[in-house]
Amino acid sequence: MTLEKIYIARHGYRANWLPEPHPPNPTGIDSDPALAPHGVDQAIEMGKHLSSLLPADQPQFILTSPFYRCVETAAPYARESGLKICLEPGVGEWFKRSRAVVPKPGSYETHAKFFPDVLGTASLWEGTSVNPSLEGEDEDEIFDRTKRFWQEFFPRFEQKHPQVKNLLIVTHAATKIAAGMSLMGLASVHDAVDVNGEKGKLRAGACSIDKYEKQDGKWVILENGRTDFLSGGEEMNWNFDVKFEAGSDEDIKAREEAAAAAAANNTSKSVEYEVRSKV
């Protein structure tokens, strides 16, 4: 049996997207914040949504980026479904080459301290050999990284877990887009996608989900950045046209400035640049 459906989700709303002071990162790793309370609520809503799908459509295996916020986002569905969360470095965060510090994320041992009830082990899935460069990546390099991830992942995973038809991956905005584009065999992270006759960019709001299905040997996107199950709808959408790392301090500052300018002009805030002012 081979994989038939893949859901790729972005993590929920991060604690460091709120005004300062920010809580310390649970793992002590740079750029590894927890979810904000709002993000925890989003993760719960995502878990309930996935659990409400028809049994034939529900994810049967969970992979996440090894960063805390992704494991935390997957945890509610893991508890709802009784599944374990497995770590996959190939879908880790995107950091630009210009970044001063490119952190190495936590391991199973790291996250077992925080998620002992839902975290899997390396014996369940040890991860591919594909890792983000510790020197950072440009747009072409993250796209190439996700291509290499899929190439190694499919044969290994389908041999080890032949009973699994539906997979959930929880990752980051940039990786969500790059992984989706490479899965569909597109040429770059900037390509438009066609979803039921509607063309546009891949959406990557907090806790948004893309749904892919294998049809006639090719992966086709059926849902683009779905957020209708979230009480707050789409928030913090991002794509590669934005020249800041998703969710970075620069990204948040740009959103706040855009919102302030819109308010000064007595116009409504763009959803693209919404930042919560409170928990």
CATH, residue 202: 3.40.50.1240
Does the pLDDT of residue 270 top 70, yes or no?
Answer: no
Say whether pLDDT at 77 is over 50.
yes
Domain presence at residue 261: no
239 has pLDDT over 60: yes
Residue 270 belongs to some domain of the structure? no
Predicted TM-score of the model (pTM): 0.92
Q: Report the pLDDT value the prediction gives residue 274, as an integer from 0 to 100.
A: 52
In a domain, residue 265? The reply is no
Is 264 among the domain residues?
no
Tokens representing residue 19 in the block: 């005004």
Give the per-residue pLDDT at 252: 79
- Share of residues in the chain with pLDDT > 70 (%): 94
SS3 string, the chain, reads CCCCEEEEEECCCEHHHCCCCCCCCCCCCCCCCCECHHHHHHHHHHHHHHHHCCCCCCCCEEEECCCHHHHHHHHHHHHHHCCCEEECHHHCCCCCCCCCCCCCCCCHHHHHCCCCCCECCCCCCCCCCCCCCCCCCCHHHHHHHHHHHHHHHHHHHHHHCCCCCEEEEEECHHHHHHHHHHHCCCCCCCCCEEECCEEECCCCCCCCEEEEEEECCEEEEEEEEECCCCCCCCCCCCCCCCCCCCCCHHHHHHHHHHHHHHHHCCCCCCHHHCCCCCC
pLDDT at 204: 98
pLDDT in tens, 124-166: 999 999 999 999 999 999 999 999 999 999 999 999 999 999 9
Q: How much is the pLDDT for 261?
A: 76
- 216, part of any domain: yes
For residue range 189-198, what is the model confidence (pLDDT) as tens digits?
999 999 988 8
Mean pLDDT to the nearest integer, 233-252: 85
Do 235 and 173 form a contact (C-beta atoms < 8 A)? Answer: no
Q: Whole domain around residue 162: which residue ranges?
A: 5-243
Q: Is 263 domain-assigned?
A: no
Tell me, what's the pLDDT at 163?
A: 98
76 versus 265: the higher-pLDDT residue is 76
> Looking at the domain assignment, is residue 262 inside a domain?
no
Does residue 114 surpass a pLDDT of 50? yes
Domain count, the chain: 1
In a domain, 108, yes or no: yes
CA dihedral 159, 161, 164, 166 (to 10 degrees): -80
Lookup result for tokens 């949504």: 49
Check residue 157 and give its pLDDT: 99
